[in-house]
Amino acid sequence: MIRLENVSKSYRTNSGTNHVLRNVNIEFPDSRSIGILGLNGTGKSTLIRILGKAEQPDSGRIFCDTRVSWPLGYSGGFQNNLTARENCKFVARIYGESPKYVEEFTCEFAELGEYFDMPMRFYSAGMRARFAFAVSFACNFECYLVDEALETGDARYKEKFRLAFEERRNGCSVILVSHNESTIRRTCDSAAVLENGELTLYDNLKEAFQVYKFLQSRAA
């Protein structure tokens, strides 16, 4: 479970302070996969980074007793001048996994072909996302933090991931930021809405989407 206790985070912008999270108290249970909805710029990515402890909140505490992945997104985590193979080994080492196993698993799962031995600066966004998923799968996390990255890549590969996630459903959960309603419907069983610094968790997707649609229509 990941629990946020009185977590606040704000950014200073030219026009004043933007409160991304205000005293948020929430608990993400292990057993559920949760989608995070919110309009552009409300701070969904920041929230994911805070959950993954890649960023410090201004105040408050994050309590976590599961093995959580790093935030999987378009970028981040990988060294562009290293090849995918070298990046694999690095990730394996810092998570205490066997470098050889992670390398083999990723090589097979990511289907990058000869690109696997090319520096990652030559990768497209889709290839990056594919690689990130494959490596994180090799590391056997209990909770995967996903920042929109599921949107990239071709349909066949998306399907492959969905199946892989499905297979692990009992063993792991996903916290997913996405703009794509169908992605969330397919992957998650509940959703939280982030708005104006407040994060509300809804037990069923229907309710969450109603709130989200209302916000969207109000913004438009």
Chain contacts with other proteins (rule: CB under 8 A): 3, 5, 25, 27, 49, 52-54, 61, 63, 68, 70-71, 75-82, 86, 89-91, 93-96
Q: How far apart are CA 43 and CA 140, in angstroms?
A: 27
Least Cβ distance, residue 142 to other proteins (angstroms): 14
Residue 143 or 215 having the CB closest to other proteins: 143
Residue 25 or 216 having the CB closest to other proteins: 25
Residue 4 or 172 having the CB closest to other proteins: 4
Calculate the alpha carbon distances from 124 to 56, 181, 216 in Å: 29, 24, 31
Q: How far apart are CA 160 and CA 173, in angstroms?
A: 17
Q: How far apart are CA 52 and CA 75, in angstroms?
A: 15
Calculate the alpha carbon distances from 164 to 16, 49, 136 in Å: 44, 24, 12
Least Cβ distance, residue 175 to other proteins (angstroms): 14
Least Cβ distance, residue 191 to other proteins (angstroms): 16
Chain position carrying tokens 């991931």? 161
Least Cβ distance, residue 9 to other proteins (angstroms): 12
